[in-house]
Structure 1
Amino acid sequence: MSPEEFLDWVNAVEEIMDFKEVPMERRVPLMATRLRGRASAWWQQLKISRNRQGKTKITDWEKLKKKMRVEFLPHNYTRIMYQRLQNLRQNTRSVDDYTDEFYQLVARNDLSETQEQLILRYVGGLRAQFQDELIMYDLCSVSDAHQRALVLEKRFARRPVGNWSSTARASAGAAPSTRAVPSQPAVPAAIKPAAAASTYKCFKCGEPGHRMADCRKSDRPGKALFIKPDGAIHDSLEGYDQEPLFDNGSEEMEEIIVEGDTGPLLVVRRESPNSGHDYNIGLCFHYDGPDD
């Protein structure tokens, strides 16, 4: 029997006896009828040992519970339960699972805390996002905090798991997807040279099928640059054998004389302020016309 199972059994027996209003002097014999297995063997050994030692029978229910706790619970069980309650956190569990363990640990520990302290202990074990929301409410009990935490859990479950920046970083770090490219049909080797030959013509003779370096029909490069509409080759170099023509200077050029502007010229001169003189403005007349 585990410690939790033993405590649950004791609590259930007490509830039944309280419901049936069993007198205190009759609770020990009634409880003895409910013992099974190891508990029944222990009870029989305890009665024999006390009888040999000359001790009286156990008739007090509280005294019997104390001896049963010493026998079926670890010696540091109280310390373990209190440490588990202090370190209780929700982490990745649901709100219901966390609440169930919270109530069990509170029942296992004999706490003398007020209702407000229990509420703060319960909220302090929830996730940080739940704590930030619940701290704004005026909670009246642990059950009230539990119900509001369930509403928050459903609300956060409807939100997307990651934000835009995380999604963008994840998509940027992922390898680009590749699409299957349909394979091109293979071209027979006999057709390839003919198709390639029709794409260019000779620069010298103008006929397709070969290049200028392989041409044997003309020794004059650039002769077949231009082809007439009737297909005849036109020598584009004709007319360039004559001597160049230059101007002989026989034509007379009209001479244009441009004269500058004439008339009075105004000049403004300013003296330095450090010289101690006043500002003077002088007029200088300049005339480029003929003398009278």
Structure 2
Amino acid sequence: MTQAPHPPPPTGSAPPGHGDLAALAARHGLTVSGARPPLAAYVRLLWARRHFIAAFSTAKLTAQYSQARLGQVWQVMTPLLNAAVYYLIFGVLLGTRRGVPDYVPFLVTGVFVWTFTQSSILAGTRAISGNLGLVRALHFPRAALPISFCLQQLQQLLFSMCALVVILLAFGVPVAFSWALALPALALQFTFNAGVSMVMARMGARTPDIAQLMPFVLRTWMYVSGVMWSIDNLAGKHTGWPSWVLPVLQANPAAVYIDLMRFALIDSFGADRLPQHVWALAAGWALLAGAGGFVYFWKAEETYGRG
């Protein structure tokens, strides 16, 4: 006896629904490609890629000036030349050096510290949009990119600090135990920079034109952050200003980290020139930007490189 063949499926039957496909994928251990992991798991994945982050940042730093004749010397020369231009325009022509002891160390410290923040944010804005080939080719936590760019700028700042120490000694600033305070100040600033860079990386991934706007935003931010002039001197020069102007300028995160570095390195920049609760301000900005920026970036993890 022959077995009757199975009847063909009806031609008008509906395709499997979403629930059926999800159950089929779960039964065979399949997961969504590029799905966003939970926050704790994402942190563990990022920590597991720490060696990649360090190697990537070092490679980027080495390649940055590989085509220039002076090579890595430009890591120090660029902020020094900026400081020289600012000294001529602001210190000499506009007279911002009056009333500021040790103005050259004051200016150079401000320029170096500000350049760290500025370069980190600019690099972070292009971290995803400028590395789409890497993002689409490899599976890794995307936060590794803006963090590695911030680490690259930190390494560049440490090179520049060697020149800063020479300038401080040349202008008679003595070595002091307070120089050790530069380490926690830099750690807090790095956390702040990384958080803002991750915010800008997500925004830049969706709207690449933001990268063209950021230089103008950062230039405005620099002018109100006391890089070339003393915020503290405003209290005596502009008594007619509203009372809230000076505290707002002093609480500006860029100004907070610049003032902390000046306080650590320059003996004439005393505690009386710092805003109240300056370390709490620095830690608060670092926590707000670092944690907030990380969560904000993580929420869009599965969208990077798509479309």
> So what's the TM-score if we normalise by structure 1?
0.21
Greater relative CO (CA pairs within 8 A, separation 6+): 2
Question: Which is greater in Rg?
Answer: 1
